[in-house]
Amino acid sequence: MTTTTSAKPVLITGGTGKVGSRLIPRVLSQGDAVRALVRDPESEAALRLRAAGAELVVGDLATLDAAGFKDVVDGTSAVIHLAATFRDAPTPERATAVNTDATTALAEAALDAGVTRFVFASTNLVYGAGHHAPQDEQTELGPIAWGGPYPESKVAAEKSLQDLRIRRGLDLRVVRLAFVYGDGDPHIEEFMQRPLDWHSSRRLQMVHHADVAQGVLLALRAEGLSGEVFNIADDSAATLAEIYRYVGRELTPEMAERDVTEPWFGIVQNGKARRVLGYRPLYPTMWQAVDAGAM
């Protein structure tokens, strides 16, 4: 990665979330200043960010008004927008308010402040269901089959941001993240608590936190990419059987008798990120992260 130190900080929303709390130390280690948007500046996660060198700014995307958004983004060099509501089973109204409307308001405030570069963290779930091969960035989005209102609100946010790019010159880069794991993140264990009716051969497309950081920073720093979308993912998805083995759970014979449904759901290609950004996963598979002690 090329290091570009700016006197102005990069604004990163969702600073204390699973992705943000692991991304920000990596950004700081590259020499960039960071302003982290947090809801509770006295939380353990926020205090760790402050100790690492991040500037904290307090705000909740769900309640900020136009003046609040302006204060958050004023004096920054770029925005990495990670914050979203997802794991709290949001209602469609809350998902729209936080993931779509607040995203649009933040981008508009950034433009008003003269901050044009905007990296938006979306999800591979936006591709939906009904595909017959791995999805690339040109794949038509299918019907949303899993994830509730979260992926729908992300689709709407992407469309809104692309409209701002056309109308107002937003220098937009969208990174569609696969299932994020590693660095002590309990995401895999939380996923395994869900009721699953998958065949044991069904696969989950994943991406390690270190590679999220790589993809996000490459998208942030590259020139001439306004409006481009990139899948950020491992090279190879893990089967449910492999995930069971990793967490120490036994497969049941019944799992192998289930119908194989939607075998390509969420399975994406990262070839565009490789070609355009120079993205190369540090952990191409989950098992390489396990072997490296990076889980």
In tens digits, what is the pLDDT along the chain, a chain of 295 residues? Answer: 444 445 899 999 999 999 999 999 999 999 999 999 999 999 999 999 999 999 999 999 989 999 999 999 999 999 999 999 986 667 999 999 999 999 999 999 999 999 999 999 999 999 999 999 999 999 999 888 777 899 999 999 999 999 999 999 999 999 999 999 999 999 999 999 988 899 999 999 999 999 999 999 999 999 999 999 999 999 999 999 999 999 999 999 999 999 999 999 999 999 999 999 999 999 999 999 999 999 9
Q: How far apart are CA 39 and CA 188, in angstroms?
A: 25
The greatest distance separating any two alpha carbons of the chain, rounded to the nearest whole angstrom, comes to 59
Q: What are the C-alpha distances in Å from 200 to residues 186, 203, 240, 250?
A: 21, 8, 5, 11
- What is the reported pLDDT for 172? 98
Residue whose token pair is 């920073």: 217
> Which tokens belong to 95?
């998902």
- What is the reported pLDDT for 156? 97
Q: How far apart are CA 144 and CA 150, in angstroms?
A: 10
- What is the reported pLDDT for 3? 41
Residue whose token pair is 């280690």: 29
Q: How far apart are CA 272 and CA 79, in angstroms?
A: 22
Residue 112, φ and ψ in degrees, nearest 5: -60, -30
> Which tokens belong to 44?
């353990």
Helices 149-168 and 102-112 pack at an angle, to 10 degrees, of: 20
- What is the reported pLDDT for 4? 44
- What is the reported pLDDT for 5? 46
